[in-house]
Amino acid sequence: MTTAPAAEKIPTDQTLGLPIYPGAQFIASYDAGRGQRFYIFGSAASFVDLVGFYRTVLKQKGDLIFDAPATHQFEVGRFREDTMAFPPGVTIKDFQSQVSQGYPNPKPGGQPARFPTIIQIVPLAER
């Protein structure tokens, strides 16, 4: 997987076709293969708050796929194994624990210094 070019525009709800949690900061996007990209955002909000937000806006319960570190996934489209590397959707990961103070903010001097929660968005289709 490779990081997107430095001149990449910050994605929006409209360009991704999925909601981005208010105040979440774009970190990077990566080539997932098979013509897909996934987009990583950091948030100062708690894991519980993010899961609640996406349950409301996506109108679905989603699935807790790992207890520790807590990881919740919302699939929003059909996974096509022959054309996709990842199912379209939103994954929330709790990066704050007894062994981690959070995901380091890659922007020098960026605030917060560490994100307690990370959001991964895989769009339905490239736009």
pLDDT category of residue 75 using cuts at 50, 70 and 90? very high
Mean pLDDT within 74-98: 87
Nearest to 93, CA basis, from 61, 118, 122, 113: 118
pLDDT category of residue 28 using cuts at 50, 70 and 90? very high
How many whole angstroms from its chain centre is CA 59? 17
Is residue 73 pLDDT above 60, yes or no? Answer: yes
Q: What is the 3-state secondary structure (H, E, C) of the chain?
A: CCECCCCCCCCCHHHHCCCCCCCCEEEEEEEEECCEEEEEEEECCCHHHHHHHHHHHHCCCCEEEECCCCEEEEECCCCCCCCCCCCCEEEEEECECCCCECEECCCCCCCCCEECEEEEEECCCCC
pLDDT category of residue 127 using cuts at 50, 70 and 90? very low
Domain ranges of the chain: 13-122
pLDDT category of residue 126 using cuts at 50, 70 and 90? low
Helix (H, G, I), strand (E, B) or coil at 25: strand
Is residue 85 pLDDT above 50, yes or no? Answer: yes
Q: pLDDT tens for residues 49-70?
A: 999 999 999 999 999 999 989 9
Q: What is the pLDDT of residue 120?
A: 97
30 within 8 A of 23, measured Cβ to Cβ: no
Q: What is the pLDDT of residue 125?
A: 65
